[in-house]
Amino acid sequence: MQPARTDLAPPKDDPFTVAQLMAFDGSDLSKPIYVAIKGTVFDVTHKSDTYGKGKSYNLFTGKDASRALGMSSLKAEDAVSDYSTLSEGDMKTLNDWFDFFTKRYNVVGKVIDLPPQGSAPPSASL
């Protein structure tokens, strides 16, 4: 496990929409790579060997994938923001991931239009 960083920038609270966040999924090398957890957006660009396009954790990029992180899942269908049905154990895992990211990656903003917890994502209701 990588150690906590001591050179993190002060957290930002720049607003991101779900649509804007999609542009930071590692597919455009001129843009940073972002992962959101519980609505907080983290810059994971310095770990592009892990989060970059085609890499093992790219599934989490360009979106809020809280549910998948809580479940320790690498399934695309689990990479959604709604974590309302996580078990107590999975919720602890999600909170542990949030703490891990907070100590290792710069916070660059907040997702401002996530669906409420317990609701279907917009694409699922079409």
Domains of the chain by start residue, with CATH: 14-114 (3.10.120.10)
Mean model confidence pLDDT for the chain? 92
Separation CA 101–CA 42 (nearest Å): 7
* pLDDT tens, residue by residue, 32-72: 999 999 999 999 999 999 999 999 999 999 999 999 999 99
Task: Identify the pLDDT of residue 121.
Answer: 53
| Residue (of 57, 62, 56) closest to 42 by Cα position | 62
Least confident interval from 8-17, 91-100, 112-121? 112-121
